Chain A
Amino acid sequence: MTDTEVHLRKFQKELSTGTVSLVLLSALAQAKEPQYGYQIAKALEAAGKNLQGESLISGKQSAFYPVLRNLEGTGLLSSRVEPSISGPPRRYYEITETGRAVLRQWQAQWQQSKQFVDTILQGALS
């Protein structure tokens, strides 16, 4: 790994800390029915490919699961477990009313932060 790559990885990690929650919450707000971890991960992977973007979590979808569990712990998501024929029982997640309210605030915050960062990056200070 080259020197700049280390810095990139570190930046990706820091950046993803907050954004993964936002992305997952938004994904579940758009979902028509409750979804389980693998489904969500695959949907996001497909969406990420269309944009040809670097993956948000440096490519590792395992990072979604702990975040889903946290979001449930704080009441933004609710879940139920259903048996599955392919493997262990699946936990299906659904966004709660609180979750939707929080998502609206997060979206507003994201827009603001994005705008600010863009302004600086486009040379507002020069």
Chain B
Amino acid sequence: MSTPKTIPEYLEQLRAALKDADAAVVQDALYDAEEYLRSELATRPNADETQLLAEMATTYGKPEEVAEIYLEREVQVSAAFRSPLNTDALERPSSSGVAAIAASQPRVSFWAKFFGVVIDPMAYSALFYMLLSLATGIFYFTWTITGISMSLGLGALIIGVPFAILFIGTIWVLSLVEGRLIETLLGVRMPRRPSYTDKSRSIWQAIKDVLSDARTWATLFYFLLMLPLGVIYFTVAITSLSVSVALAFSPLVQFVHSDVVLFQFGSWSLMDHPWLTLPACALGIFGMLLSLHLARAIGGWHAQFAKHLLVKVGE
């Protein structure tokens, strides 16, 4: 590989060296390298960029050395900080080293896995995300539809273009917010960085960059899709939870206040059959566990889906 002469060239080589790595690792590596290189360049404004990059190879590292450091770190970190219970919900890095470590861990029995979900914080946060997604989904949808229609409507006027640009800007910010939400609640890295303006490029070029960035359009699509998804997630979460909780507490309800109408089908009511409430309770607890598993699975799936549309598209 030839020695890079400019910072973009350096970053390009680094990206090439990391081509098999997880998207999060690639973003982190590129972001860190850019911070370091541009900071160094800023401290010595008169220095020659080529000369500077040659020096960087010994202090910061050559692109391929940097890539190696990040790949190694990724393996070590995922081995050290991943609690065994959370591995299902967390994404699996592609590096083979991690797979080897995961394989060497003691096997957990099916039942331990099934009941283990109770103490997995990721299941609860995924459930919370499902409930929240109705609200965020409605907001994203309204915002996107309003923005698109107003941009089109104002297109004929002089304020049309600035308005559309402003709207796209808010979409980028919202996408960052959604990324943080997913990171916190679903535990998947969403390494989308706030955009910044490269001083060497004009404002028009920057606008063109944003408009030609596939992620802008994928994000709009994601936000529109969040309304139906949010409705579905919310409904699934509420239904599965309320049915399980009602079943689980039916013996207690029967004991305290048997007049309550609970699980009535036509003339048949669970409350008329006190002996049935005990198996119903067991079924309810089973249902709760199942709901948590479902929430974790949906959370994991949604995070991958979101990562694809908000982060990976166009890379």
Is B81 a contact of A87 with CB atoms below 8 Å?
no
With an 8 A cutoff between CB atoms, is B73 at the interface? yes
Is B59 a contact of A87 with CB atoms below 8 Å?
no
With an 8 A cutoff between CB atoms, is A38 at the interface? yes
> Are A17 and B38 CB-contacts (below 8 A) given A60-B61, A62-B69, A88-B31?
no
Is B41 a contact of A86 with CB atoms below 8 Å?
yes
Is A70 a contact of B69 with CB atoms below 8 Å?
no
Enumerate A15-68 residues with CB–CB distance to B below 8 Å: 17, 36-39, 41, 45, 59-63, 65-67
Bound-state CA distance A90–B32 (Å) is 9
With an 8 A cutoff between CB atoms, is B42 at the interface? yes
With an 8 A cutoff between CB atoms, is B272 at the interface? no
Enumerate B36-60 residues with CB–CB distance to A below 8 Å: 36-42, 58-60
With an 8 A cutoff between CB atoms, is A83 at the interface? yes
Which of chain B's residues has its CB closest to A66's CB? B73
Is B58 a contact of A59 with CB atoms below 8 Å?
yes
* Interchain nearest-CB distance for A69 vs B (Å): 7
Encoded as 1 (CB less than 8 Å from any B CB) or 0, chain A from 68 to 91 comes to 011001100000010111111111
Set of chain A residues within 8 Å of B37, measured between Cβ atoms: 87
Is B33 a contact of A62 with CB atoms below 8 Å?
yes
* Interchain nearest-CB distance for B152 vs A (Å): 31
Is B66 a contact of A60 with CB atoms below 8 Å?
yes
> Are A38 and B36 CB-contacts (below 8 A) given A62-B61, A66-B70?
yes
Is B60 a contact of A61 with CB atoms below 8 Å?
yes
Which of chain A's residues has its CB closest to B199's CB? A85
| Number of B residues with CB within 8 Å of any CB on chain A | 31
Enumerate B194-210 residues with CB–CB distance to A below 8 Å: 194, 196, 199
Bound-state CA distance A62–B193 (Å) is 19
Is A89 a contact of B61 with CB atoms below 8 Å?
no
Enumerate B53-87 residues with CB–CB distance to A below 8 Å: 58-61, 65-66, 69-70, 73-74, 76-77, 81
With an 8 A cutoff between CB atoms, is B20 at the interface? no
> Are A62 and B28 CB-contacts (below 8 A) given A38-B39, A89-B194?
no
* Interchain nearest-CB distance for A89 vs B (Å): 6
With an 8 A cutoff between CB atoms, is B34 at the interface? yes
* Interchain nearest-CB distance for B62 vs A (Å): 9
12 A-B contacts (beta carbon < 8 Å): A45-B59, A60-B59, A62-B33, A66-B73, A66-B77, A73-B77, A73-B81, A74-B81, A81-B194, A87-B38, A88-B31, A89-B196
Partner-B contacts on A (CB < 8 A): 17, 36-39, 41, 45, 59-63, 65-67, 69-70, 73-74, 81, 83-91
A sample of 12 more A-B contacts (CB under 8 A), given A37-B36, A61-B36, A87-B37, is: A36-B35, A45-B59, A59-B59, A60-B59, A60-B60, A62-B32, A63-B61, A67-B73, A70-B81, A73-B81, A89-B193, A91-B35
